[in-house]
């Protein structure tokens, strides 16, 4: 997991997707900048919750499926991405019939009952609080759907976690009820005028512990060039 997270590429331009996993290179691309909002603490919370949700999709689903296919070629069909009803998919995903669809996976629906393209402050806090993950996904879903009716309550343990991200829990507004549409900051382009990402394995990307001899040879070549 450490190797995967350290090799995520964060992009800053607007595209027609939130994140992308290139299964040929096993490389993950994700939108990186903080979502600009008037309140800095809310901006950080909404952005972090969005990034966590994005990693749920890209790592737990897309990357995991690609890795399982790579490791289990004979059972390839068993690891195909599940498709869900068109009512939950975006226009972008509907036009990608031959690919694993970013929105057409059931992890978001099982956890949140919707695609996460908008968040309230309470929803962001719920997603970021580790204590909310100590139940099965059905209970998580049930609790998430009620969180907007609950009072904001940040205990010391959660406050300490937020502090690591330079978020001061005392500066989080208690009466914040706005819904922030994330998609408008990111998915502003169509297939016709969007950027295309291509990638290669970075040197040192050796998730299976193979090809060490070849990797050492590359390092020796680079060392000789530097010297």
**Residue-level pLDDT at 160:** 95
pLDDT exceeds cutoff 60 at 202: no
pLDDT in tens, 64-123: 888 887 777 776 555 555 454 555 444 444 444 434 444 445 788 889 988 888 899 999
**d(Cα 28, Cα 56) in Å, to the nearest integer?**
12
Q: How many other CB atoms sit within 10 Å of the CB of residue 101?
A: 20
Domain that holds residue 18: 2-226
pTM score above 0.85: no
The residue with greater pLDDT, 222 or 148, is: 148
Strand order in the sheet with 27-31: 9-11, 27-31, 19-22
Number of folded domains that form the chain: 1
């Amino acid at each position: 997991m450490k190797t995967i997270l350290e090799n995520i590429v964060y992009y800053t331009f607007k595209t027609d997707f939130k994140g992308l996993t290139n299964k040929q290179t096993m490389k993950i691309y994700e939108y990186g900048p903080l979502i600009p909002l008037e309140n800095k603490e809310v901006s950080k919370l909404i952005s972090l919750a969005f990034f966590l949700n994005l990693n749920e999709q890209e790592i737990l689903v897309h990357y995991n499926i690609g890795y399982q296919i790579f490791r289990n070629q004979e059972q390839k069909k068993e690891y195909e991405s599940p498709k869900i009803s068109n009512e939950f998919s975006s226009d972008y995903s509907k036009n990608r019939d031959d690919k694993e669809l970013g929105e057409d996976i059931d992890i978001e629906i099982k956890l949140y009952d919707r695609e996460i393209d908008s968040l309230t402050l309470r929803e962001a806090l719920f997603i970021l609080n580790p204590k909310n993950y100590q139940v099965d996904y059905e209970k998580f879903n049930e609790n998430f759907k009620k969180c907007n009716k609950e009072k904001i309550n940040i205990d010391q343990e959660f406050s300490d976690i937020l502090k690591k991200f330079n978020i001061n829990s005392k500066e989080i507004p208690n009466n914040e009820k706005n819904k922030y549409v994330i998609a408008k900051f990111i998915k502003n382009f169509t297939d016709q005028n969007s950027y295309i990402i291509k990638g290669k394995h970075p040197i040192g990307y050796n998730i299976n512990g193979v090809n060490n001899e070849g990797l050492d040879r590359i390092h020796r070549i680079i060392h000789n060039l530097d010297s």
